[in-house]
């Protein structure tokens, strides 16, 4: 099969012919139909986060089951599925207490004494997030997929595999925003827009979108923003506090920067909660004023929207088909696998919501 192989930081990927193994007892072979290009892929491509090379990047994807292992009963060939990087074991403390997105058990990977899932000239290739969706096929553990209805468009379904679940989940699961609350979202990329949409679904009375790009702020209104704030003048915190009458109940940072994480905390009212969704580079410290804790202000992280993806994603599919999740506008362009480097470069401009690789 063909795949874009990541071999060196910041070096354009080439499309290579690689080998894929047969499914093991609890593995599923998927024919990839669509794969979104996410900032998480870029964080590893540009070296912000350390990663294994060579590997196949990509993790936001949807496809059709091609074959299943002998012990797989959840799906069968022909089923439509969304993949998710929250691969879960199902029996550790995190899973049993409902925190599947935090599962770190190693058993969903192949052992060192087993043949690699994907390889090139007998050299093992890594799979980003145990998926590696910048490839025509994916061989994954059965707990990395969720079955969905067949009338869901694959390009839209792929977005639910990461960005949508991360943003909406941060609102409804991690922060548990209640109806009538006020919300501010910093960053109107794919995850930020999904967070805005999630806040609207949760019944927030005011949803304030914060960004420096006018076109993204305008797009935010389509996703449920009641107000927009241009942060280019450095006065975003003051503007949000004024709009919300003293600060918001909930803020969300969807960029991954120290400065914006601190701003998310600063724009809270007493008792408010800031949720950091973005991937802040390793080693960077976020500073907050200690006195704010006396006002019961809180700051917390969120991993993939604290999802229970086999429950959540089919619901998000239904929401989209009912017109309640506005996912069509998340896709800025549809490209082919050979355009992968152009799609990655587009992330750096700040103008793109999502590029989606189409395999048909």
- What is the per-residue pLDDT for 352? 57
- Distance, CA of 354 to CA of 343 (rounded, Å): 9
DSSP string for residues in 294-320: GGT-EEEE-SGGG--HHHHHHHHHHHH
Domains and CATH numbers, the chain: 2-161+306-358 (3.90.180.10), 176-301 (3.40.50.720)
> What's the alpha-carbon Rg for the chain, to the nearest Å?
20
Beta strands in the chain (DSSP E): 2-5, 14-17, 19-20, 27-37, 55-56, 60-68, 80-83, 118-120, 123-124, 126-127, 137-141, 145-148, 182-186, 206-211, 227-230, 248-253, 268-276, 298-301, 333-335, 355-358
Cβ contacts of 286 within 8 Å, gap of 6 or more? 258, 261, 262, 265, 276, 280, 299
Number of other residues whose CB lies within 10 A of the CB of residue 213? 17
Number of other residues whose CB lies within 10 A of the CB of residue 151? 8
Q: Report, as an integer, the average pLDDT of 340-347.
A: 90
Q: 266-280, pLDDT tens digit by residue?
A: 999 999 999 999 999
Q: Which two tokens stand for residue 117?
A: 């899932």
Residues found in the chain: 360
Tell me the backbone φ, ψ of residue 253, rounded to 5 degrees: -105, 120
Tell me the backbone φ, ψ of residue 20, rounded to 5 degrees: -120, 135
Confidence of residue 346 (pLDDT cuts 50, 70, 90): confident
Query: Do residues 202 and 177 touch, judged by C-beta distance below 8 A?
Result: yes
- Distance, CA of 117 to CA of 227 (rounded, Å): 48
- Distance, CA of 69 to CA of 237 (rounded, Å): 53
- What is the per-residue pLDDT for 328? 92
Active centre residues (catalytic):
38, 40, 43, 59, 162
- What is the per-residue pLDDT for 132? 96
Q: Report, as an integer, the average pLDDT of 19-38.
A: 96
Confidence of residue 350 (pLDDT cuts 50, 70, 90): low
Least confident of 37-51, 105-119, 288-302: 37-51
Q: How far is CA 242 from CA 208, 228, 261, 270, 297, in A?
A: 11, 12, 19, 15, 18
Q: 147-199, pLDDT tens digit by residue?
A: 999 999 999 999 999 999 999 999 999 999 999 999 999 999 889 999 999 99
Query: Do residues 152 and 321 touch, judged by C-beta distance below 8 A?
Result: yes
| Residue 73 burial (C-beta neighbours within 10 Å; 0-12, 13-18, 19+) | exposed
pTM for the full predicted model: 0.94
- What is the per-residue pLDDT for 58? 95
Residue 129: is its pLDDT beyond 80? yes
Helix or strand run (H / E) with residue 94:
helix 93-96
Measured N-to-C along each axis, helices 236-243 and 258-266 cross at an angle, to the nearest 10 degrees, of 30
Q: Which of 45, 139, 48, 23 lies closest to 343 in space, CA to CA?
A: 45
- What is the per-residue pLDDT for 13? 96
- What is the per-residue pLDDT for 353? 65
- Distance, CA of 34 to CA of 330 (rounded, Å): 14
Mean pLDDT rounded to a whole number for the chain: 95
- Distance, CA of 250 to CA of 185 (rounded, Å): 9
CA atoms within 13 A on the CB side of 166: 30
Q: 277-300, pLDDT tens digit by residue?
A: 999 988 899 999 888 899 999 999
Helix %, strand %, coil % for the chain, to 5? Answer: 35, 25, 40
- What is the per-residue pLDDT for 48? 86
Query: Do residues 223 and 197 touch, judged by C-beta distance below 8 A?
Result: yes
């Amino acid at each position: 099969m063909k795949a874009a192989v990541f071999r060196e930081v910041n070096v354009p990927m080439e499309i290579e012919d690689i080998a894929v193994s047969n499914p093991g007892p609890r593995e599923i072979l998927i024919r990839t139909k669509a794969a979104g290009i996410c900032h998480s892929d870029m964080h590893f491509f540009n070296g912000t986060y350390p990663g294994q090379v060579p590997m196949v990047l990509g993790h936001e994807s949807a496809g059709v089951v091609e074959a299943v292992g002998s012990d797989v009963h959840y799906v069968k060939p022909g089923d439509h599925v969304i993949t998710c990087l929250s691969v879960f074991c199902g029996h550790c403390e995190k899973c049993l207490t409902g925190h599947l997105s935090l599962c770190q058990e190693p058993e969903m990977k192949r052992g060192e004494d087993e043949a690699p899932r994907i390889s090139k000239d007998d050299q093992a290739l890594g799979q980003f997030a145990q998926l590696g969706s910048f490839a025509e096929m994916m061989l994954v553990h059965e707990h990395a997929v969720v079955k969905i209805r067949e009338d869901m468009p694959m390009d839209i379904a792929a977005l639910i595999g990461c960005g949508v679940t991360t943003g909406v989940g941060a609102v409804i699961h991690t922060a548990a925003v209640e109806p009538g609350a006020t919300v501010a979202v910093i960053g109107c990329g794919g995850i930020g827009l999904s967070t805005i949409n999630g806040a609207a679904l949760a019944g927030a009375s005011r949803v304030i979108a914060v960004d420096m790009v006018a076109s993204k702020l305008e797009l935010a209104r389509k996703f449920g923003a009641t107000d927009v704030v241009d942060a280019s003048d450095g006065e975003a915190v003051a503007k949000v506090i004024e709009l919300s009458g003293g600060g918001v109940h909930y803020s969300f940072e969807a960029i991954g920067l120290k400065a914006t994480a601190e701003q998310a905390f600063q724009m809270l009212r007493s008792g408010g909660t800031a949720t950091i969704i973005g991937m802040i580079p390793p080693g960077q410290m976020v500073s907050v004023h200690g006195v704010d804790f006396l006002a019961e202000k809180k700051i917390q992280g969120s991993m993939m929207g604290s999802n229970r993806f086999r429950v959540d994603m089919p619901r998000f599919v239904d929401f989209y088909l009912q017109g309640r999740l506005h996912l069509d506008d998340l896709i800025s362009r549809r490209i082919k696998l050979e355009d992968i480097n152009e799609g990655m470069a587009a992330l750096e401009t700040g103008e793109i919501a999502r590029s989606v690789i189409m395999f048909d």
